[in-house]
Copies of this chain bind each other. A is one copy, B any other.
Amino acid sequence: MTKLGLPVPPGFTIVTKTCIEFLKSGEKLTDELIEEMKVALNKVEKKAGKVFGDPEHPLLVSVRSGAKISMPGMMDTVLNVGLNPKTMEGLIKITNHERFVKDSYRRLITMFADVVCGLDISKFENKLEEVKTANKLSFDYELTPELLDGLIVDFLLIFKELYGSPFPEDPMTQLLMTIKAVFKSWNNKRAIAYRKFEGIPDDIGTAVNVQTMVFGNYDENSGTGVLFTRNPATGEKALYGEYLMQAQGEDVVAGIRTPVSISELKKQLPKIYSSLEKFALTLEKHYKDMQDIEFTIESGKLYILQTRAGKRTGTASAKIALDLLSEGLISKEEVIMRVTPRDLESSMFPSIVWANEKSHDYFNIEDFETKLHKHSIDELTKEAKISHAEIIGEGLPAGPGAAAGHIIFDSDLAEQLAKGQKEPNFDVKLWKTVDGKKVPKLILIKKETSPEDFHGMVASEGILTMTGGLTSHAALVGRQIGKRVIVGASNSKMDLLGHNLRTSDGRILSEGDVVTLEVFDHARVYLGSLPIYTPNELPETFLTILDYCDEIAQIKVRTNADKRLDAETAMKFKAVGIGLARTEHQFFDALDLVQEMILADTKSERIETLNKMLSLQQKDFEDLFEVLNGKPATIRLLDPPLHEFLPKELEIRQRAWLEMLNPRQTEENLRILRKVIYYQEANPMLGLRGCRLSLLFPEITEMQVRAVIQAALAVHDRGIVVHPEIMIPLVGFKEEFTKSREIVDRIAKLVFEEKGKQITYHVGTMIEIPRAALTADEIAAGELGADFFSFGTNDLHQMTLGFSRDDVGKFLPYYVDEHIIPSDPFQTIDVDGVGKLMDTCVQLGRKSASESEKYLKVGICGEQGGDPHSIEFCYKIGLDYVSCSPFRVPIARLAAAQATLKFPKPAKKYLKSN
């Protein structure tokens, strides 16, 4: 900023390299450095016309960190360095502001104790409160110089007691200690964690900025403020911000006095305002982004203290980026890098209107949604009271957005209420209108959901389950149908007790009570109804940016969709195909038939039932092919173990107990029970499922393949291009794939012959068993090897890490908190472990396929396929596409483009795809 000619208080910077040297060499400041620093300080003294430590004209400085990449709040700052009893006297003489100077000294002691010495500062705070109470004072600035004198004596005593030696009065000692502290803060726990999370390297270090202090509380012509060069909420191009006269930065933040809008400054100090306007323009042009500027006016003179890219809402982010593009400041590529997946997410899904998200303060507006029709959010929030929201539970974020509603524990009842077929027996506060009827908004709460809860989930605004992970039924299905979903809440001590919900804090809620779910990076349950803003659809700005993304992205985005509706949603979001259609979801729709099929004692009985299922499956596939209209669809053959379609042993036994109140079972129960027990497994994840099932019961595969091929031919007859890709799940051995492919090819040939026509199809496999990745070369080898791979990263993580996603709830949160693992592997690919395996797999598979002149298409269809970090990794190892749930498609498209821009050269692909 100094170079740009802006009025910055004089200072100097110790560069990041010094930090690294300092940390490596046993945390010592070298004599050389101290000498250089003194020379620099000397220059500053000359510019400021003051001398550091001089009792007559004392120079005070601030010491701030300055990392290459902004790490807000992670590192330390100390103000007023250079004050001691002598310089304090000098400063009082010059300024004639005894209270201000003594207050600054008091603050220095506290800040130094905290930041430099790492002491517990509650004793200082208690003493301050004690003095204020004794003197019946409400505000710090009411402390008289005399009271401050007393406090300073007390503070110095406390400091000595806690630290073991007295507060350093020598200004140079203060300065050197502070610089060391800032350097060291590079390695404090929260900074390390932040870097790990954001992927910032550990070895770049922080700079230290030593700068002349200026004071906004100097006199009545002084003040301080914060300025955004554009509106951070909407992106509108106009100065935005607030200021306070006779105040220091702290006072603005503390919220004791209400700051004034920056537009007032235009009237109050027009010259200052027009300077600010000019500086804002300069800074925006220089940094090519909206700026968040801190300024101070000392005795009528404007100083710019700091500038950085301003935080903004998702909507603003997109608007600003596009405006900067049309202003010629940035390129299309830069536009793409300017918006974050989180920006997009918050613009897609309903979210709570927070006053302060961090402290959980919200704008308390009654009947928010109705009023929103007449007013803008901005207008509404102005008139709102601020209230504090209470968290009553947390869980895993399974379906993003926010939703408020009445809690309900029964899916049948939920449906009846939501359809207005039944009167609620609770006082309804939240209504919605469905087909002209006013019905209550509901939040469905279950221990875990099963396919039998589907109608209840559809009927509700949000779903909350006690157990289960991010890939449990509730998570998968809820996300698929676009609901807010929180799973695994029992880890926050929430619990279901019959038809009551015990909250984390021990409260008991019952049917009809109102809660609000908020699900983004976190997943929280709040008591009562919070105001929710629901964007109607993806803003135009984002649609434009996403089109830019598609031009650039070198990895494509498909979707996971089982049904027509899912597929339609995904096509609207411009997915380029289906990466995973799970056929078992179709099975759940025909549960009676499936159970009949499983209970069949002979193969011929089984085939009979399978024949009945054929047309149902075929219809679903026809739907998908129609919606896709020429785009490819990867259809996975039946994957889950058969017992997932059967009731649980306990259920049957209990049914018998309840029905008969004696230990005998009915004949029918016994029949089912025998099958249930037969199919029970100790570890179903590692049991009889996937291709193992289709090799043992080839008739199931035969039916499914017939359904796919018949559907493809039927849709093809209607003039629509079809690209079926049949995917064999759970392959671990080459022979499993070969034998499964034989069945597929045999049936396809048969159907082609029957119908007298044919289409092209591909057969590939899911890579979800570590062994498959290790032997990918075998599986992809030869003419009859796999045509494509798709990483089933859910199972691949389960097996490679030994983490059952249904059971990790007891330790995974602890692991993430304690940094035993960097992040939840069911959200973000474990790059160091599973990632290594994936990379090996792609290389082995592609190389082997290329030896048969084939290009092996590779994608990912696990949950992680919608996660930006994971998409970046997938791009880097050369995958052709990611596939994610329909509502994640826009985020994935953005992430795909960003990855391409960040890493222009991905892995070697052997043969080029056509």
Residues of A participating in the B interface, judged by any CB pair closer than 8 Å: 649-650, 653-654, 657-658, 661-663, 681-688, 692, 695-696, 730, 732-733, 735-736, 739, 768-771, 774-775, 778, 795, 798-804, 806-808, 810-811, 814-815, 818-821, 830, 832-834, 836-837
Residue of B nearest to A472 (CB): B682
B799 close to A774 (CB less than 8 A): no
A685 close to B684 (CB less than 8 A): no
Tell me, in angstroms, the Cα distance from A657 to B732 when the chains sit together. Answer: 44
Whole-angstrom distance from the CB of A247 to the nearest CB of chain B?
46
A807 close to B732 (CB less than 8 A): no
A800 close to B770 (CB less than 8 A): yes
Which residues of the partner chain B approach A696 to less than 8 Å between Cβ atoms?
810-811, 814
Tell me, in angstroms, the Cα distance from A683 to B730 when the chains sit together. Answer: 17
A799 touches which of B733, B802, B807, B808 (Cβ 8 Å): B802
Which residues of the partner chain B approach A814 to less than 8 Å between Cβ atoms?
695-696
Whole-angstrom distance from the CB of A647 to the nearest CB of chain B?
14
A819 touches which of B735, B804, B807, B834 (Cβ 8 Å): B735
Given A685-B683, A821-B733, are A802 and B662 neighbors across the interface (CB < 8 Å)? no
Q: 26 A-B Cβ contacts within 8 A?
A: A650-B650, A650-B653, A653-B654, A661-B662, A681-B804, A682-B684, A682-B804, A683-B685, A683-B798, A685-B685, A685-B686, A686-B804, A686-B807, A687-B810, A688-B811, A692-B811, A696-B810, A730-B802, A732-B833, A733-B821, A735-B820, A774-B836, A775-B832, A775-B833, A799-B799, A799-B802
B682 close to A806 (CB less than 8 A): yes
Tell me, in angstroms, the Cα distance from A811 to B696 when the chains sit together. Answer: 7
Which residues of the partner chain B approach A649 to less than 8 Å between Cβ atoms?
650
Residue of B nearest to A681 (CB): B807
Interface-centre pick from A682, A695, A736, A810 (highest chain B CB count, 10 A): A682
Which residues of the partner chain B approach A804 to less than 8 Å between Cβ atoms?
681-687
Which residues of the partner chain B approach A733 to less than 8 Å between Cβ atoms?
820-821, 833
Whole-angstrom distance from the CB of A696 to the nearest CB of chain B?
6
Tell me, in angstroms, the Cα distance from A732 to B825 when the chains sit together. Answer: 13
Tell me, in angstroms, the Cα distance from A663 to B778 when the chains sit together. Answer: 56
Whole-angstrom distance from the CB of A52 to the nearest CB of chain B?
44
Tell me, in angstroms, the Cα distance from A694 to B70 when the chains sit together. Answer: 38
A683 touches which of B686, B815, B830 (Cβ 8 Å): B686
Whole-angstrom distance from the CB of A337 to the nearest CB of chain B?
32
B653 close to A663 (CB less than 8 A): no
Which residues of the partner chain B approach A695 to less than 8 Å between Cβ atoms?
811, 814-815, 818, 820
Tell me, in angstroms, the Cα distance from A687 to B801 when the chains sit together. Answer: 10
Which residues of the partner chain B approach A657 to less than 8 Å between Cβ atoms?
657, 663
B685 close to A682 (CB less than 8 A): yes
Tell me, in angstroms, the Cα distance from A803 to B739 when the chains sit together. Answer: 19
Tell me, in angstroms, the Cα distance from A804 to B810 when the chains sit together. Answer: 22
Which residues of the partner chain B approach A808 to less than 8 Å between Cβ atoms?
687
**Copy count, this protein chain:** 2
Q: Which 5 A-B pairs have the closest CB atoms?
A: A686-B804, A683-B804, A687-B807, A682-B806, A771-B833
Given A681-B806, A736-B820, are A798 and B688 neighbors across the interface (CB < 8 Å)? no
A739 close to B820 (CB less than 8 A): yes
Whole-angstrom distance from the CB of A669 to the nearest CB of chain B?
15
B811 close to A686 (CB less than 8 A): no
B771 close to A801 (CB less than 8 A): yes
Which residues of the partner chain B approach A775 to less than 8 Å between Cβ atoms?
832-833, 836
Residue of B nearest to A832 (CB): B775
Tell me, in angstroms, the Cα distance from A775 to B806 when the chains sit together. Answer: 25
A684 touches which of B650, B683, B732 (Cβ 8 Å): B683
Given A733-B820, A820-B733, are A807 and B683 neighbors across the interface (CB < 8 Å)? yes
Whole-angstrom distance from the CB of A450 to the nearest CB of chain B?
13
B837 close to A774 (CB less than 8 A): yes
Which residues of the partner chain B approach A803 to less than 8 Å between Cβ atoms?
686, 732
Which residues of the partner chain B approach A821 to less than 8 Å between Cβ atoms?
733, 735
B833 close to A802 (CB less than 8 A): no
Tell me, in angstroms, the Cα distance from A778 to B820 when the chains sit together. Answer: 13
Known A-B contacts: A686-B798, A686-B803. Give 13 more (CB < 8 A): A649-B650, A658-B663, A661-B662, A681-B807, A682-B804, A683-B683, A683-B807, A687-B810, A688-B807, A692-B815, A735-B819, A768-B802, A774-B833
Whole-angstrom distance from the CB of A805 to the nearest CB of chain B?
9
Which residues of the partner chain B approach A769 to less than 8 Å between Cβ atoms?
800-802
Tell me, in angstroms, the Cα distance from A743 to B206 when the chains sit together. Answer: 34
Residue of B nearest to A825 (CB): B771
Given A683-B685, A688-B810, A688-B811, are A801 and B833 neighbors across the interface (CB < 8 Å)? no
B682 close to A771 (CB less than 8 A): no
Interface-centre pick from A658, A688, A739 (highest chain B CB count, 10 A): A688
Tell me, in angstroms, the Cα distance from A76 to B739 when the chains sit together. Answer: 29
Given A682-B684, A688-B811, A814-B695, are A800 and B820 neighbors across the interface (CB < 8 Å)? no
Interface-centre pick from A730, A733, A818 (highest chain B CB count, 10 A): A733
Whole-angstrom distance from the CB of A907 to the nearest CB of chain B?
18
B771 close to A800 (CB less than 8 A): yes
Residue of B nearest to A696 (CB): B811
Tell me, in angstroms, the Cα distance from A653 to B769 when the chains sit together. Answer: 36
Interface-centre pick from A654, A683, A692, A774 (highest chain B CB count, 10 A): A683
Given A650-B649, A663-B657, A806-B683, are A770 and B735 neighbors across the interface (CB < 8 Å)? no
Given A684-B683, A814-B695, are A795 and B802 neighbors across the interface (CB < 8 Å)? yes
Interface-centre pick from A658, A662, A685, A806 (highest chain B CB count, 10 A): A685
Tell me, in angstroms, the Cα distance from A650 to B803 when the chains sit together. Answer: 25
Which residues of the partner chain B approach A833 to less than 8 Å between Cβ atoms?
732-733, 770-771, 774-775
Which residues of the partner chain B approach A811 to less than 8 Å between Cβ atoms?
688, 692, 695-696
A802 close to B661 (CB less than 8 A): no
Which residues of the partner chain B approach A836 to less than 8 Å between Cβ atoms?
774-775
Which residues of the partner chain B approach A653 to less than 8 Å between Cβ atoms?
650, 653-654
Which residues of the partner chain B approach A798 to less than 8 Å between Cβ atoms?
683, 686
Which residues of the partner chain B approach A810 to less than 8 Å between Cβ atoms?
687-688, 696
Residue of B nearest to A680 (CB): B807
Whole-angstrom distance from the CB of A740 to the nearest CB of chain B?
10
B799 close to A682 (CB less than 8 A): no
Which residues of the partner chain B approach A681 to less than 8 Å between Cβ atoms?
804, 806-807
Which residues of the partner chain B approach A834 to less than 8 Å between Cβ atoms?
771
Whole-angstrom distance from the CB of A831 to the nearest CB of chain B?
11
Whole-angstrom distance from the CB of A74 to the nearest CB of chain B?
21
Whole-angstrom distance from the CB of A204 to the nearest CB of chain B?
23
